[in-house]
């Protein structure tokens, strides 16, 4: 197979053609890992994958171990490693409709996610916007880099539940809560990158409550209001997108209500994060 690569922007994202993800061999997996480390987001059109092929493709990334999402069992896929991402006319919120990295609350967060699109909303919409966290860090001023380089922040798995449903998680449900450095080193390139996100990060340790809130809000706005960090993926049925979940954040735009969008995600676990 010979790959053709079309960048989405100079900073982030590429559309890749000439690859059948249901038949990746070791050489292709190595090439895709290299490309992902370089571009952060890879878009593949016209893929045909059942659950096993989807999981085999995901296992080429990270430690090879697949992530079992706490909500996967209830999501309807019937497989703990396959998370159904579905919004319909009955949905009160759509998963991923807000800037986040996937489960950054885990001690060893997801390294890469592979989302496969089954059904697109019939009147358009349903894009996903991605942002580069290496570029977000690179664009910060030196005094701010020095300040946040010494700090850690707490990421709480209950936060998306509170934000989505507007109430506390069901009693007895356990979500991870982990402290990570705010600036981490990318596991492949070693480049420093910003590791806080509105979806999971609740507070900065060792500073006052108001200082934490103001600092986090400044960093979130830097990410969300700087379009040059971002690329926008327009999906089609049978598109599969792989994102580097350490080097990027994303926002799945819920602009298609009351229509249905249905996809499935399989994610590969990575290692513990290291300060830059």
What is d(CA 176, CA 169) in angstroms, rounded to the nearest whole number?
12
Catalytic one of 102, 106, 156, 244:
102
102 given a catalytic annotation: yes
In whole angstroms, the minimum distance from the beta carbon of 91 to ligand SIN comes to 12
In whole angstroms, the minimum distance from the beta carbon of 250 to ligand SIN comes to 6
In whole angstroms, the minimum distance from the beta carbon of 197 to ligand SIN comes to 11
* Sequence-ordered list of residues with C-beta below 8 angstroms from that of 204, at least 6 positions apart, any chain: 151, 152, 153, 154, 182, 211, 212, 215, 216
Residue with smallest beta-carbon separation from ligand SIN = 96
For ligand SIN, give the closer residue by CB, 198 or 265: 265
For ligand SIN, give the closer residue by CB, 79 or 102: 102
Please report which residue ranges of 119-193 form alpha helices under DSSP H: 133-138, 142-148, 159-165
Q: Is 183 exposed, middle or buried (0-12, 13-18, 19+ CB in 10 A)?
A: buried
For ligand SIN, give the closer residue by CB, 117 or 136: 117
In whole angstroms, the minimum distance from the beta carbon of 275 to ligand SIN comes to 26
What is d(CA 190, CA 199) in angstroms, rounded to the nearest whole number?
25
Which residue carries 């009351």 as its tokens? 258
What is d(CA 121, CA 94) in angstroms, rounded to the nearest whole number?
13
Asked if 136 contacts 226 with a C-beta cutoff of 8 angstroms, the reply is yes
For ligand SIN, give the closer residue by CB, 104 or 113: 113
Asked if 71 contacts 64 with a C-beta cutoff of 8 angstroms, the reply is no
For ligand SIN, give the closer residue by CB, 54 or 265: 265
Catalytic one of 67, 180, 250, 261:
250
Asked if 202 contacts 254 with a C-beta cutoff of 8 angstroms, the reply is no
- Cα–Cα separations (whole angstroms), residue 208 to 144, 145, 201, 216: 17, 19, 15, 12
In whole angstroms, the minimum distance from the beta carbon of 185 to ligand SIN comes to 24
At residue 156, the 3 state secondary structure works out as strand
What is d(CA 87, CA 203) in angstroms, rounded to the nearest whole number?
30
Q: Which residues of 219-248 are buried (b: 16+ CB within 10 A; e: fewer)?
A: bbebbbeeeebbbebebeeebbbbbbbbbb
Catalytic one of 67, 69, 100, 186:
100
For ligand SIN, give the closer residue by CB, 42 or 183: 42
- Residues at the interface with ligand SIN (CB under 6 A): 85, 95-96, 102, 113, 115, 128, 250, 252, 263, 265
In whole angstroms, the minimum distance from the beta carbon of 23 to ligand SIN comes to 25
100 given a catalytic annotation: yes
The catalytic residue positions are 100, 102, 250, 265
């Amino acid at each position: 197979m010979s790959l053709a690569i079309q960048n989405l922007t100079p900073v982030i994202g590429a559309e890749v053609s000439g690859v059948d993800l249901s038949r990746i061999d070791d050489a292709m997996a190595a090439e895709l890992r290299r490309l992902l480390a370089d571009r952060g987001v890879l878009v593949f059109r016209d893929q045909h994958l059942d659950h096993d092929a989807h999981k085999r493709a995901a296992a080429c990334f990270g430690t090879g171990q697949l992530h079992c999402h706490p909500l996967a069992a209830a999501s309807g896929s019937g497989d703990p490693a396959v998370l159904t991402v579905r919004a319909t006319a009955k949905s009160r919120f759509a998963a991923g409709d807000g800037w986040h990295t996937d489960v950054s609350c885990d001690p060893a967060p997801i390294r890469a996610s592979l989302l496969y699109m089954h059904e697109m909303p019939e009147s358009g919409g349903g894009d996903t916007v991605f942002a580069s966290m290496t570029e977000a860090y690179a664009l910060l001023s030196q005094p701010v880099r020095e300040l946040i380089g010494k700090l850690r922040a707490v990421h709480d798995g209950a936060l998306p539940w509170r934000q989505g449903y507007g109430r506390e998680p069901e009693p007895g449900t356990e979500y991870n809560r982990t402290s990570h450095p705010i600036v981490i080193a990318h596991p492949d390139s070693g480049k420093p990158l910003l590791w806080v996100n509105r979806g999971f990060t609740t507070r900065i340790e060792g500073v006052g409550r108001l200082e934490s809130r103001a600092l986090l809000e400044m960093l979130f706005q830097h990410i969300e209001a700087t379009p040059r960090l971002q690329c926008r993926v327009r999906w089609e049925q049978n598109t599969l997108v792989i994102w580097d979940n350490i080097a990027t954040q994303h926002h799945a735009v819920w602009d298609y209500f009351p229509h249905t969008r249905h996809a499935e995600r399989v994610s590969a676990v990575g290692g513990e994060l290291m300060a830059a």
